[in-house]
Amino acid sequence: MHALTHTLLAPLIARTDFATPTPTVSVDPDTVTPGFFGFAAIALLAIAVVFLLIDMLRRIRRAGYRADIAAELDAEEEAQAQAEAAERATDVDDEDIDPRR
């Protein structure tokens, strides 16, 4: 099968001209460039992205501060609860303890 295909296609391949085509410019480069409006659109988009990044970083930083403050408040509440429990433990009078139990 391969030999048959080769013998049938060999004359066609031999007659084919393999010249490299030279590119020609068919459009005016000035009409296909984005121009001022394209530049302005990309510049505005870049400025908007920069402002969004600044805002995002500010919000992330603020959330971190809130988490730190919440952890400090939780630690203070825990310390206060432990102090109250220790104070209640020392306020127990010996007479309040029933020796029969």
pLDDT at 22: 80
Distances from the Cα of 73 to the Cα of 22, 63, 76, angstroms:
76, 15, 5
**For residues 75-100, average pLDDT:** 76
Average pLDDT over residues 25-46: 87
Mean pLDDT computed over 59-83: 93
Spans of all domains in the chain: 49-90
Q: Is the model's pLDDT at 97 over the cut of 80?
A: no
- Please tell me the distance from the alpha carbon of residue 7 to that of residue 42, in angstroms, as a whole number: 58
| Helix or strand holding residue 80 (H, E) | helix 35-90
| 12 DSSP 8-state letter | H
